[in-house]
């Protein structure tokens, strides 16, 4: 018996990386899933891998009607919605303020924040009535950049701090019917892209050969996690039986990055 038997989840950014791992894990825990992603090819691939238990929706999380269409699909296909997972995201690859021209910064901010922050907000808005009806929950993907500077640039770091703000504000507003929590993953090798306004539409973490080495050197836990390594936190937070009293919480699972400390002082 899985932890999410009979539940229905809507997962954004479900076509790749962490979102795809969440679809696989939620399905294995007994949930039926609506997999929402901008890429129609990825949506088709997820659907094909889980026939009968996963329904795909191609759309943009930054567009209100696309979120409404995804929620309508959950209700039409499965009759209910228990969990909304706002996970689609872009990364700014550490773009530095001083090196970014004003106009590029302006457009890059709008493009990234529209996905990482507005996408979560519009998704929860679209799902709200269904979540209230099911006494369901929300889980948003934050990041180690929700509490650490210097991995992302200012735009990404601000966007992931804002996700924590959404978790706390929405947990306050939506109680007692709907629990709202977040998960802050650390490094993982995925296909994550950047805003085209910053010239990062084709950049991916996937192509960084030294990511394993970096993780071993930097993280107290000394390994590069797979996306699936983060999925258990989402399952627990979504599970009524295992997180009934939990709302407004963001779970850090960053390999210890936030507690890495510093090397011994010379002579110390």
Ligand X SMILES: NC(=O)c1ccc[n+]([C@@H]2O[C@H](COP(=O)([O-])OP(=O)(O)OC[C@H]3O[C@@H](n4cnc5c(N)ncnc54)[C@H](O)[C@@H]3O)[C@@H](O)[C@H]2O)c1
Catalytic residues: 156
Are 215 and 223 in contact by the 8 Å Cβ rule? The answer is yes
x/- track of binding to ligand X for residues 174-213 (CB under 6 A): -----------x-xx-xxxx-----------x--------
Interaction of residue 251 with ligand X, rule CB under 6 A: no
Interaction of residue 88 with ligand X, rule CB under 6 A: yes
Task: Work out how close the CB of 99 gets to ligand X at its nearest, in angstroms, rounded to a whole number.
Answer: 21
Near ligand X by CB under 6 A, which window of 15-23, 125-133, 170-178, 239-247? 15-23
Which of residues 19, 56, 123, 195 is near ligand X by CB under 6 A?
19
Interaction of residue 17 with ligand X, rule CB under 6 A: yes
Interaction of residue 225 with ligand X, rule CB under 6 A: no
Please state, in angstroms and rounded to a whole number, the distance separating the CA atoms of residues 190 and 93: 13
**CA separation, residue 32 to residues 4, 23, 53 (Å):** 9, 9, 5
Please state, in angstroms and rounded to a whole number, the distance separating the CA atoms of residues 252 and 186: 8
Interaction of residue 56 with ligand X, rule CB under 6 A: no
**DSSP code per residue over 163-229:** HHHHHHHHHHHHTTT-EEEEEEE----------GGGT-TT--GGG-TTHHHHHHHH-TT-S---GGG
Which residues contact ligand X by CB under 6 A?
12-13, 15-19, 37-39, 42, 60-62, 87-89, 91, 115, 119, 141, 143-144, 185, 187-188, 190-193, 205, 227
């Amino acid at each position: 018996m899985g932890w999410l038997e009979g539940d229905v989840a809507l997962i954004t950014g479900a076509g790749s990386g962490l979102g795809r791992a969440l679809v696989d894990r939620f399905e294995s825990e007994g949930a039926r899933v609506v997999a929402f992603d901008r890429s129609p090819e990825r949506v088709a691939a997820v659907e094909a891998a889980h026939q009968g238990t996963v329904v795909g929706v191609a759309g943009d999380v930054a567009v209100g009607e696309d979120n409404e269409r995804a929620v309508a699909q959950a209700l039409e296909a499965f009759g209910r919605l228990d969990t909304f997972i706002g996970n689609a995201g872009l990364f700014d690859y550490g773009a530095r303020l001083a090196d970014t021209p004003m106009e590029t910064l302006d457009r890059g901010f709008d493009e990234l924040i529209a996905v990482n922050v507005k996408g979560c907000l519009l998704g929860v808005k679209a799902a709200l009535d269904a979540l209230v009806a099911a006494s369901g929950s929300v889980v948003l993907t934050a990041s180690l950049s929700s509490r650490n500077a210097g991995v992302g640039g200012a735009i990404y770091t601000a966007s992931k701090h804002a996700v924590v703000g959404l978790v706390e504000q929405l947990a306050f507003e939506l109680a007692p019917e709907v629990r709202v929590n977040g998960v802050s993953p650390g490094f993982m090798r995925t296909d994550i892209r950047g805003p085209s306004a910053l010239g990062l539409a084709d950049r991916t973490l996937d192509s960084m050969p030294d990511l394993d080495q970096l993780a071993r050197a930097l993280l107290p836990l000394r390994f590069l996690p797979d996306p699936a390594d983060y999925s258990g936190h989402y399952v627990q937070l979504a599970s009524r039986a295992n997180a009934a009293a939990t709302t407004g919480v963001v779970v850090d699972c960053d390999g210890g990055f936030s507690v890495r400390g510093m090397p011994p002082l010379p002579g110390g």
